[in-house]
Structure 1
Amino acid sequence: MTADGPRRSGVTLAAVLLLVAALQLAAYWPGIMYWDAVRQYGQAVSGQFDDWHPPAMEWVWRRLIVLQPGPAPMLLLQTGLYWLGFALLAGSAWRAGRRRLAVLIVLPALLPFALATLGSVLKDSLMAGALLAAAGLTAWAGEERRWGLRSAAIALLLFAATLRFNALLAALPLLVAVLPGTWRRTPTRLITCIVVSALALAVAMPLANRATGARPSGVALSLVIFDLGGITEQSGVDAFPQLAVADPVAINHRCYDPVRWDSYAWWVAEPCPIGFAGVRDAFAAHRQSPYLFWLKAIAAHPLAYAEHRLRHANNNLRFIIGHDVERPVQPQSAPNDWGYRIARNPAQRWIDWLAVQTCRTPLGWPICWITLALGLVWAGRRVAGAMPLALSAAIYGGGYLLLSVASDLRYHLWTMLAAGLAFAVVADALPRRRLLLASAPAIAVAIVGTAARLVW
């Protein structure tokens, strides 16, 4: 084959990426705003931040609306990072002569759920974009000491850590991987890199919140309340602090939903008498630490806590269920004071339909992607570039077993993308038999999940 053949193939691959990116952007212009984004945009406009949603994102949004009001600038930012990451990853593979890998890398980018979710202005989409761009910069830097590229990747990973309280789990393997190989050569050096990287990521959000002047909202109390409600439901014993309600166990039974914590919040149509404000005030009145109280409740009722967490995880990860937990993507913005909506069009309807339909298959079940990532951790331990992505997908996705209060599929966008990329890298490097063994856990849970849906 002449040199013109690979060059033409590379141009074709780049053209496909540009075409899909343009189509996706046009389909969802100027960007869908969920309820979260509506609240965030309001704070970006006012400049008065709290930390219920990431104030770092609101701070960036406030700077962008100077250029153009509305969701469009944030949509451009998150889509730009997303496609930049995939372009760099595919480009680095192509530059190394691994044409097949470059093509395989593009496939996760084309997941309908990812394209539809990317059309919504969300911290999940922005975080995934930042992580992808960081992974792409790391791949492009290769083994050379290109500190400009590495520094940009580190900055993006620290930025990603300001966007979700659990983003550390996703960013840590990538941050360790972006450091020069000589820094990780011995076990002692590797442990040092992990500890220092974890500390840097852990302080990123608190420092960003303080720098933006965000008011504390007590958002972490949502996890405490949800778990106390679950323990109360499964044990039949009141696990809440002393509240001014009669028979908390019976009231909680009417309110508790293993799918999400929202019934305890103030924004639902019929708020539970055991609500966020009441629990918060009870802790304050008795000068109790919510988090110490929470840990003691877990220790006192470990089986009830485990059952609550497993029931929630089953819904969150879409495992053994006989119904759709909720629509995987939203087709339109929530009502907002500024009237921002997307104009429904054939491309958006087609992407939305594909996203809904594919999410009814194992492609939309986080449990399949997490188990795939776990298999790839084993299979790809000696495959360059695979381990950080597989670990990131497995640790971040698995973290929702303990750290989740809702079952939105968007929480798993990064898990799907990282596992898909890790699979691409491993598939290009290993024989089919070993790849099949790595995929066996995912295949098994897909079979069990499918059977459950057929007989439910």
Structure 2
Amino acid sequence: MRSAIRPVPRVALLITLATLVELAAFWPGIMTWDAIRQYGQAVSGRYDDWHPPAMNWLWHQLRHGAAGPAPMLVLQAMLYASGTGLLAVAALRRGQRWGSVAILLLAASPIALVLLGTILKDSLFAGTLLLAAGLIAVPSEHHRRPKFAAIILLIAAATLRFNAVPACLPLLVALTPPAWRRSPARFTATAVLAVVPLVLALPLANAALRAQRSGVELSLVIYDLGGIGRFANANVFPPTEVANPMAVNRACYSPVSWDRYAWWGEEPCAIGFETVQAPLRAHHAAYRWWFAAIVAHPLAYLDHRLAHFDRNTRFLVRDGDLPGLSLASDPNRWGYAVAPNALNRGITTVATMALATPLGWPACWIALAFGLVVLRPTISQPGGQQGDVASALAWSALLYALSYLPLSVASEVRYHFWTITATGAAAALMLGQREVWAVPRWRRVLAVGPVAAILLGSIAARVMG
């Protein structure tokens, strides 16, 4: 035990240094268009639900300490660093020095540093979940406060993304007493019970903050209608005054994102949010139109969803055809921007290069998460809480990533920040343990095969593209 505890101050020192480098390189934080809109609502104290009102409200509170993006940058960095440190300590307590090193190295990857340096709900989400995982991995024998803190963090994280439940649920289940997960029936009942606060978190937070309805849910409906129409060679939008809607939609649709259907693009589509929101909302018809189009053209819907998921996970694509990382603030009325500095240039240069490698291809991380789940399929494992958190992280990464198959409308790597983070931490905690590999051969093959196939497929697509 003493030999495991001695390196802990070194972990704390390394985490502190990495955080200081992060803050120095990206101060006061990169402000994208999303963050600019969110900060405007944080300043006014009036919220809508296009971006998480809970985050905007939190930002409003942080403004009492300092204006601008800096407080949110510090919060993101501290959450992420704290979770990383706790997971690294958990590995040390099990005698997994190399696992601890791997956790620290993955957390300090250039892509992660750029995403943490950007004010994003995805970065806040990843940091919040990582700290919750760390609190689970290093439990206190005498105090229940870490466990309660982890529960609060998970429910708070559920207010940050509409598809947060798949990511939060495995970690919340891992917090429950082992007896609650001992049999399939108990595990199922526990999971159903845990779903309730996670599902209610977002709508209750929005209601408490009196967030106005923005119609954000129509982005998915409109994008799916556009995709179905494109692959079915039909018009499935509600009636509009747009002439030749099939031809217009063919020119507007992209499997990369729905942006042409939005109002903020340089060339917004004639059929888009501004055009069809009124007929879709009439008599609550949006989901009726959406469901009817899927039923009428199921194969076209599947083609559209698979084509988009391919881009979203950067699988059989060319990296140059997809959005890169946000490396600088967009113009904003407050003038917030990251001042040029050598640290920033170095990190962003390496991160841009890494994005064109398997480190920046979510498909490879999803395959690895699948492999980890195959090797350790259940959250209830011998070996205490750390065994639980490693499996929970793998499940969380996989389920969250797969939620983007039916629900995504864009293809930025930031959407998979949590999947990459959780998979890396789970692999570091899991793969160095001999008992993990003491499974039937078919399971080892099933765990490794998809990782190799997707990695080779991703490379081949880029070489031959």
Q: What range is the shorter-chain TM-score in?
A: over 0.9
1:361–1:432 CA distance, 2 compared to 1 (3 A) = farther
The answer to whether the 8 Å contact 2:367/2:450 transfers is yes
Deviation, 1:254, is 1.2
Deviation, 1:288, is 4.3
CA distance in 1, matches of 2:391, 2:247: 48
**3-state DSSP of counterpart to 2:432:** helix
Opposite residue 447 of structure 1, the aligned amino acid is L
- Residue 300 (1) aligns with residue 296 (2): yes
Partner of 2:384: none
Partner of 2:414: 410
Partner of 2:182: 185
Opposite residue 140 of structure 1, the aligned amino acid is V
The answer to whether the 8 Å contact 1:325/1:407 transfers is no
**Residue of structure 2 aligned with 1:373, choices 353, 369, 374:** 369
Deviation, 1:237, is 1.2
Deviation, 1:208, is 0.4
Partner of 1:171: 168
- Residue 363 (1) aligns with residue 359 (2): yes
Question: Could you tell me the TM-score, scaled by structure 1's length?
Answer: 0.95
**Comparing 349-358 and 49-58, the one that deviates more:** 349-358
1:319–1:228 CA distance, 2 compared to 1 (3 A) = same
CA distance in 1, matches of 2:8, 2:61: 36
Match runs of 1:44-193 below 5 Å:
44-141=42-139, 144=141, 146-193=143-190
1:222-280 Cα deviation digits (max 9, x unpaired): 00000000000010111111112122111111111111001111111121111212211
**Residue of structure 1 aligned with 2:391, choices 376, 387, 392:** 387
Opposite residue 9 of structure 2, the aligned amino acid is V
Opposite residue 75 of structure 1, the aligned amino acid is L
CA distance in 2, matches of 1:284, 1:329: 34
Partner of 2:261: 264
CA distance in 1, matches of 2:10, 2:263: 52
1:355–1:133 CA distance, 2 compared to 1 (3 A) = same
CA distance in 2, matches of 1:49, 1:432: 47
CA distance in 2, matches of 1:46, 1:157: 27
Opposite residue 66 of structure 1, the aligned amino acid is H
CA distance in 1, matches of 2:327, 2:320: 16
Partner of 2:459: 450
CA distance in 2, matches of 1:148, 1:165: 28
- In percent, how many aligned pairs have the same letter? 48
**3-state DSSP of counterpart to 1:352:** helix
The answer to whether the 8 Å contact 1:327/1:356 transfers is no
Partner of 2:238: 241
Partner of 2:340: 344
Deviation, 1:354, is 1.3
Question: Could you tell me the TM-score, scaled by structure 2's length?
Answer: 0.93
The answer to whether the 8 Å contact 1:227/1:305 transfers is yes
**Residue of structure 1 aligned with 2:216, choices 194, 214, 219:** 219
CA distance in 1, matches of 2:437, 2:133: 28
1:357-383 Cα deviation digits (max 9, x unpaired): 111011111110011100100112355
Opposite residue 461 of structure 2, the aligned amino acid is A
Pairs aligned (count): 452
Any unmatched runs of 5+ in structure 2? 382-386
- Residue 30 (1) aligns with residue 39 (2): no
**Comparing 11-20 and 110-119, the one that deviates more:** 11-20
The answer to whether the 8 Å contact 2:313/2:363 transfers is yes
Partner of 1:273: 270
Opposite residue 405 of structure 1, the aligned amino acid is V
Any unmatched runs of 5+ in structure 1? none
CA distance in 1, matches of 2:12, 2:249: 55
Deviation, 1:101, is 2.8
Deviation, 1:384, is 4.0
The answer to whether the 8 Å contact 1:315/1:325 transfers is no
**Comparing 188-197 and 207-216, the one that deviates more:** 188-197
1:16-71 Cα deviation digits (max 9, x unpaired): 22211111111111111110000000000011100000000000000101110000
The answer to whether the 8 Å contact 2:319/2:356 transfers is no
1:10–1:288 CA distance, 2 compared to 1 (3 A) = closer
Opposite residue 393 of structure 1, the aligned amino acid is A
Partner of 2:424: 420
- Residue 329 (1) aligns with residue 325 (2): yes
The answer to whether the 8 Å contact 1:376/1:439 transfers is no
- Residue 10 (1) aligns with residue 14 (2): no
- Residue 399 (1) aligns with residue 408 (2): no
**3-state DSSP of counterpart to 2:40:** helix
Deviation, 1:139, is 1.1
1:271–1:42 CA distance, 2 compared to 1 (3 A) = same
